[in-house]
Amino acid sequence: MIKSVSETTAAVKEAAAYIKTRIEDGQIPKICIVLGSGLAPLADECIDPISISYADIPGFPVSTVPGHAGKLLIGTLEGKRVFMMSGRFHSYEGYDTSLCSLYVRVMYVLGVRTIYLTNAAGGIADGMEPSDLMIVTDHLSFFCDSPLRGPNLDEFGERFPDQSHVYDPEYISILESIGKQEGIRLHKGVYAYSKGPQYETPSEIKALKILGAGAVGMSTVPEAIIASHCGMRIAAVSCISNLAAGISDKALSHKEVMDNAAKSSSDSCKLAKLFIKAI
């Protein structure tokens, strides 16, 4: 069923209005950090956080993935006010991509203009090792139902948005220089969206490699599309939690993904903090 513009806009505004009631005037952040696997410990570094359970926010879905907490934090990091999404929504959980990314518009209505997206991903490009990080320079969204499908919400952006620079070039250089300065193993590459929840087959990974993918994962793209539609500046970092199917002989498992994401977390947190400090 096609939702009307007013229904969708009202849902976004209702969620934003509720969150606003929980924050003091003048304390609303302009930055949102999405804590994918590996970045979860950053939540503990958020100073004086207000914590709102997703279940309490009108219209928010509930995150069903183990390891994804399901709460919104509002606090201070590196002296800057930030929202932290601790837990996100995936289409493999059964949600439409528009529902997975609804929170991005809620953030926009609240005044957020920079989003820092993180995720766990399977490494495809040559030279990657588990627990490396990859700065996302672009994405392949062919396998992602567009979250912009349906009536266009003109107050957020235009019907046919340009996608030439989804990931902010200046943010990419900031991340690169932090990596160099801190000796963090950082790659740059294209993130390919995969619907999941099953991991890819080796043939699918071969095809993605030919298409130019550096890593593959099941999130981020719907959110990046919605964020770019409303003109937010986007940075995204993937934690290479495993080598993608067929790149190594090893069978893939969620446990390996979580273990390697945890191993990379000190580098992921350092990179995120220095980035927030730099912008």
Angle formed by the axes of helices 221-229 and 102-110, nearest 10°:
40
CB neighbours (10 Å) of residue 80?
A: 14
Q: What kind and span of H or E run contains 15?
A: helix 5-21
- Min. distance of Cβ 120 from ligand HPA in angstroms? 4
User: 97 or 242, CB closer to ligand HPA?
Assistant: 242
Among 72, 218, 224, 225, binds ligand HPA (CB under 6 A): 218
Q: Binding marks (x or -) toward ligand HPA, 141..180, rule CB under 6 A?
A: ----------------------------------------
Q: Which of 128, 257, 262, 269 binds ligand HPA (CB under 6 A)?
A: 257
Amino acid at 245: A
**Binding flag, residue 36, ligand HPA (CB under 6 A):** no
Closer residue to ligand HPA, CB minimum distance, 82 or 208: 208
Q: How far is 252 from 3, CA to CA, in rounded Å?
A: 38
CB of 66 to ligand HPA, least distance (A): 14
Q: Which CB sits closer to ligand HPA, 97 or 241?
A: 241
Q: Does 34 bind ligand HPA (CB under 6 A)?
A: no
Strands, E assignment, the chain = 31-35, 47-53, 71-77, 80-86, 114-123, 133-140, 186-193, 213-217, 233-243
Q: Does 65 bind ligand HPA (CB under 6 A)?
A: no
- For ligand HPA, the closer CB: 6 or 201: 201
Residue of 93, 200, 223, 267 interacting with ligand HPA (CB under 6 A): 200
Minimum CB separation of residue 175 from ligand HPA in Å reads: 20
Binds ligand HPA (CB under 6 A): choice among 193, 217, 221, 272: 217
Cα angle for residues 49, 223, 60 (degrees, 5° grid): 55
Q: Among 237, 194, 235, 191, which residue's Cα sits nearest to residue 214?
A: 191
- Which of 98, 118, 241, 265 binds ligand HPA (CB under 6 A)? It is 241
Label residues 10-35 b or e (16+ Cβ within 10 Å = b).
ebbeebbebbeeebeeeebbbbbbbb
* Residues touching ligand HPA, count (CB under 6 A): 14
Residues 101-140 that bind ligand HPA (CB under 6 A): 120-122
Residue 40 interacts with ligand HPA (CB under 6 A): yes or no: no
For residue 143, the minimal CB distance to ligand HPA (Å) is: 11
The Cα 27–Cα 226 span in angstroms is: 24
3-state secondary structure of 249: coil
Rounded to an integer, what distance in angstroms lies between the CA atom of residue 213 and that of residue 210? 7
> What token pair was written down for 79?
């002296």
Instruction: Give the binding site for ligand HPA (CB under 6 A).
Output: 120-122, 194, 199-200, 216-218, 241-242, 244, 252, 257
